[in-house]
Amino acid sequence: MRLAICPGSFDPVTNGHLDVIQRAARLFDKVVVLVAVNADKHGVFCAEERCDMLRRATAHLTNVEVASYDGLLADYARERHAAAIVKGLRAMSDFEYEFQMALTNRKLNDGVETVFLTTSTEYMYLSSSLVKEVARLGGDISEFVPPCVMNDILNKIERNEKNDR
């Protein structure tokens, strides 16, 4: 079985993320969507919330599993016997960073390849940061995120705004 890992922060999951996950699910027997946990970064959503949103957004994909991990991606890939790490690319600036990460992961675990999937053109501009900003300013995010998680995002942003006042 060819297993791929699709890592990210997913804070929150967007339609761009979902596009890459769905396409990876067609290419591999199993895809683990891995929520990266970084103690130095404080996202809007905790890892458990991000995993929950991803599970709902990918529920229709029978070969997709969601997990979180707070160690090195190369180590997780080794533990799971992954054949590939799948990364979505929006622009050239993404490539430079992701290429560096791919080379590092390859050095740490020469048994895993990194596969780059370019984001569909309709989502090339989309990022989690953009979604949070539009939501914070009262804009419509319905075109940016899976419908099953939209209210979670709006409610969390609203609660954070009230707490900041």
The mean pLDDT value of the chain amounts to 94
Cβ count near 154 (within 10 Å): 15
| Residue 68, amino acid | S
pLDDT at residue 163 greater than cutoff 80: no
Q: Is 90 assigned a catalytic role? A: yes
pTM: 0.93
**Is position 87 annotated as part of the catalytic site?**
no
**pLDDT per residue as tens digits for the range 23-82:** 999 999 999 999 998 777 778 999 999 999 999 999 999 999 999 999 999 999 999 999
Q: What is the pLDDT of residue 69?
A: 96
Pick the catalytic residue: 50, 87, 128, 132? 128
Residue 165 scores a pLDDT above 90: no
CA–CA distance, 73 with 144 (Å, rounded to integer): 27
- Is residue 68 part of the annotated active site? The answer reads no
41 catalytic? Reply is yes
Cis amide prior to 12 (ω within 30 degrees) = yes
Among residues 17, 50, 80, 132, the one annotated as catalytic is 17
pLDDT tens digits for 139-155?
999 999 999 999 999 99
